[in-house]
C-alpha cells in the first residue's frame, strides 16, 4: 500500500522571528537554511514574523532586511524552496515582487479569519507570478465552522491552491481541529493545511487530528521556535508522522541535527509553556502578542496575565498591538485607584 504524503512546511525563519525579536542574522539564516535543505524540507518560510513589510515600530524592527535574508536562504538551497508570508495591509504587492526577485517560490497570504476578501489581489498576483499560492486564515478559533468554510471558499475562488486553518492563539482543541478540517475537506477542492501553536500543549495533538481529518500541509518549527509557546516541533512531527505511516520525504537524522546543532544554539530561551503563553491559549490571544505584553507589563508594573485576559475578552486581533499598551495603562490606572481607596489598617 502506498503511504499518504504530508507536506511539512517549516516556519522557523518566519514564526521564529517573533521569538528572536526579529533579530535573525544572515549567518543564522544561512546555517538553518542549509540544514533544512539537507533534510529535504520542500518549503520553508523566511520573512519578518508579521510577514513581508512587517519591520516597523508597531511590530518590531528587523535587524537585517528580510529581502537579504530571503536571498541568503535561497542562495544555499539546492532542494528546498522559499515561502514568504504576506498580510495585506502590512505587506504590499511591491513587497511580493521584490521577494520573488530575492528567490521566493511560494506566497502565503494571511488574513484574519473573517477577512479573506482583502486577499483577492495578492492571491491573484501570486498566481500571475507563478508562485505556489496559499491562503492562511488566522485566529481560526474566533469564528464558527460555517464562517471558516465561507472564508476558505473565498480564498479558493481567488486561486489559492491550499487553504490553511491557522490556530494563531494556540486555543483550539483536537476535536475542534477535526471539525474544521473535515468541514473544509467536504466543501473545498483545494488542499488543506494546518498551522498550530503550543500554548495549551496541543500543537502535536492538533497536528495529528488535522492530518487524520485530511490536511496535507502542516507547519512546524525547529525546536518549536515561534510566537507564544512556539509551533508544532518540526523534527518531532517528522518522527510522529512517519511512525503513523505517513511519508514526509524528510530525513529524520538531518532534521534533528539542524534543530539541535543550529537552532538550539541561537534560541534566546527554550520554547516552554509559561504562565503567560498558557493564558494566551486559554483566553485566545494572538501568540505574537507575547513579547509586546511582557514589555508592557514591566513598564506598568502589572501582571502580564491580566493584560492577556483582558485582550482575550476584548477579542483583540492581529494589527491591534497598540491595544496592549492601552489595556496595560488602564489596568495600572485602575489598580492604583483601588490602592488609594483601600482602607488603611
Ligand atoms: C503576525 C502574523 C502571524 O504570526 C502569522 C502566524 O503565524 C499565526 O497567525 O499564527
Ligand atoms: Mn504562527
Co-location of 20 and 159 in the same domain: yes
Ligand 1 pocket check for 49: Cβ under 6 Å:
yes
Report yes or no for ipTM above 0.85: yes
Ligand 1 pocket check for 45: Cβ under 6 Å:
no
Give the list of residues 6+ apart from residue 107 with CB closer than 8 angstroms, or none. Answer: 83, 84, 85, 86, 96, 99, 122, 126, 129, 131, 132, 133, 134
Q: Which ligand is nearest to the CA of 167?
A: 1
Co-location of 55 and 149 in the same domain: yes
Co-location of 244 and 110 in the same domain: yes
Strands 81-86 and 7-10: unpaired
Co-location of 261 and 178 in the same domain: yes
Q: What domain count does the chain have?
A: 2
How far apart (Å, rounded) are the C-alpha atoms in residues 296 and 303? 10
Over the chain, what is the mean pLDDT? 96
| Domain boundary residue, one of 217, 246, 266 | 266
Instruction: Dig out the grid coordinates for 201 from the structure.
Output: 500543549
Q: How much is the pLDDT for 342?
A: 39
Atom of ligand 1 nearest to the CA of 197: 10
Co-location of 102 and 162 in the same domain: yes
Ligand 1 pocket check for 321: Cβ under 6 Å:
no
* 237 in a structural domain: yes
Q: Facing residues of 221 across strands?
A: 233
How far apart (Å, rounded) are the C-alpha atoms in residues 123 and 120? 5
Co-location of 114 and 218 in the same domain: yes
Co-location of 318 and 225 in the same domain: no
Backbone angles phi, psi at 231, to 5 degrees: -100, -175
Q: Which ligand is nearest to the CA of 90?
A: 1
Which position among 18, 122, 141, 292 bears the catalytic label? 18
Examine the pLDDT at 2 and tell me if it is beyond 90: no
Of the chain, the percentage scoring pLDDT greater than 90 comes to: 95
Ligand 1 pocket check for 55: Cβ under 6 Å:
no
Lowest mean pLDDT among 133-142, 157-166, 318-327: 318-327
- Give 335-344's long-range contacts (Cβ < 8 A, gap of 24+): 335/302
Co-location of 148 and 290 in the same domain: no
Examine the pLDDT at 343 and tell me if it is beyond 60: no
Lowest mean pLDDT among 48-62, 64-78, 220-234, 329-343: 329-343
Co-location of 150 and 70 in the same domain: yes
How far apart (Å, rounded) are the C-alpha atoms in residues 144 and 166? 14
Q: Facing residues of 233 across strands?
A: 221
Q: How much is the pLDDT for 344?
A: 35
Output the domain CATH number for residue 319.
1.10.8.60
Is 18 in the active site?
yes
Of the chain, the percentage scoring pLDDT greater than 70 comes to: 97
Q: What angle do CA 341, 344, 345 make, to 5 degrees?
A: 145
* 343 in a structural domain: no
How far apart (Å, rounded) are the C-alpha atoms in residues 22 and 58? 12
| Domain boundary residue, one of 266, 291, 308 | 266
| 95 backbone φψ class: left, alpha, beta (φ>0; ψ -120 to 50) | alpha
Co-location of 49 and 140 in the same domain: yes
Q: What angle do CA 22, 24, 25 make, to 5 degrees?
A: 145
| Domain boundary residue, one of 234, 266, 298 | 266
Atom of ligand 1 nearest to the CA of 138: 9
Examine the pLDDT at 340 and tell me if it is beyond 50: no
Q: How much is the pLDDT for 224?
A: 98
112 annotated as ligand-binding:
no
Co-location of 172 and 32 in the same domain: yes
Q: How much is the pLDDT for 338?
A: 67
* 32 in a structural domain: yes
* 2 in a structural domain: no
How confident is the model over 95-137, as pLDDT tens digits? 999 999 999 999 999 999 999 999 999 999 999 999 999 999 9
Q: Which ligand is nearest to the CA of 232?
A: 2
CB 133 within 8 A of CB 126: yes
What is the length of the chain? 345
How confident is the model over 168-189, as pLDDT tens digits? 999 999 999 999 999 999 999 9
Examine the pLDDT at 339 and tell me if it is beyond 60: no
How far apart (Å, rounded) are the C-alpha atoms in residues 114 and 137? 8
168 annotated as ligand-binding:
yes
- Minimal-distance CA residue to ligand 1 atom 10: 168
CB 204 within 8 A of CB 236: yes
How far apart (Å, rounded) are the C-alpha atoms in residues 206 and 164? 13
Q: Which domain holds residue 166?
A: 7-266
Mean pLDDT of 24-52: 98
Output the domain CATH number for residue 127.
3.20.20.70
195 annotated as ligand-binding:
yes
How confident is the model over 236-262, as pLDDT tens digits? 999 999 999 999 999 999 999 999 999
CB 141 within 8 A of CB 195: no
Atom of ligand 1 nearest to the CA of 219: 7
CB 46 within 8 A of CB 77: no
Q: Cα(335) to centroid of ligand 2, in Å?
A: 33
Co-location of 197 and 252 in the same domain: yes
How confident is the model over 293-329, as pLDDT tens digits? 999 999 999 999 999 999 999 999 988 999 999 999 9
How far apart (Å, rounded) are the C-alpha atoms in residues 342 and 345? 9
How far apart (Å, rounded) are the C-alpha atoms in residues 55 and 61? 4
Residue 341: pLDDT band (50, 70, 90) is very low
Amino acid at each position: 500500500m502506498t503511504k499518504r504524503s504530508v507536506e511539512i512546511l517549516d516556519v522557523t525563519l518566519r514564526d521564529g522571528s517573533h521569538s528572536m525579536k526579529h533579530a535573525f542574522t544572515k549567518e543564522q539564516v544561512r546555517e538553518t537554511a542549509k540544514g533544512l535543505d539537507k533534510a529535504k524540507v520542500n518549503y520553508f518560510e523566511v520573512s519578518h514574523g508579521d510577514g513581508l513589510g512587517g519591520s516597523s515600530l508597531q511590530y518590531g524592527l528587523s535587524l537585517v532586511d528580510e529581502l537579504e535574508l530571503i536571498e541568503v536562504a535561497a542562495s544555499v538551497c539546492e532542494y528546498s524552496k522559499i515561502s514568504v508570508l504576506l498580510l495585506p495591509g502590512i505587506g504590499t504587492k511591491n513587497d511580493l515582487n521584490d521577494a520573488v526577485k530575492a528567490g521566493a517560490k511560494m506566497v502565503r497570504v494571511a488574513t484574519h479569519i473573517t477577512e479573506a476578501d482583502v486577499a483577492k489581489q495578492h492571491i491573484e498576483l501570486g498566481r500571475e507570478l507563478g508562485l505556489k499560492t496559499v491562503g492562511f486564515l488566522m485566529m481560526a478559533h474566533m469564528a464558527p465552522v460555517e464562517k471558516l468554510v465561507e472564508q476558505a471558499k473565498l480564498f479558493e475562488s481567488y486561486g489559492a491552491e491550499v487553504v490553511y486553518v491557522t490556530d494563531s492563539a494556540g486555543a483550539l482543541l483536537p476535536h475542534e481541529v477535526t471539525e474544521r478540517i473535515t468541514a473544509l475537506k467536504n466543501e473545498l477542492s483545494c488542499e488543506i493545511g494546518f498551522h498550530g501553536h503550543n500554548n495549551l500543549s496541543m500543537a502535536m495533538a492538533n497536528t495529528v487530528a488535522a492530518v487524520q481529518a485530511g490536511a496535507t500541509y502542516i507547519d512546524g518549527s525547529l525546536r518549536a521556535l515561534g510566537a507564544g509557546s512556539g509551533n508544532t516541533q518540526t523534527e518531532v512531527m517528522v518522527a510522529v508522522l512517519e511512525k503513523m505511516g505517513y511519508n514526509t520525504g524528510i530525513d529524520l537524522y538531518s532534521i534533528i541535527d539542524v534543530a539541535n546543532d543550529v537552532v538550539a544554539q541561537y534560541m534566546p530561551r527554550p520554547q516552554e509553556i509559561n504562565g503567560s503563553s498558557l493564558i494566551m491559549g486559554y483566553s485566545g490571544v494572538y501568540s505574537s502578542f507575547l513579547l509586546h505584553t511582557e514589555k508592557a507589563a514591566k513598564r506598568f508594573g502589572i501582571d502580564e496575565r491580566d493584560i492577556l485576559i483582558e485582550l482575550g475578552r476584548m477579542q483583540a486581533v492581529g494589527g491591534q498591538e497598540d491595544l496592549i499598551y492601552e489595556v496595560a495603562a488602564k489596568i495600572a490606572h485602575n489598580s492604583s485607584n483601588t490602592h488609594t481607596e483601600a482602607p488603611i489598617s
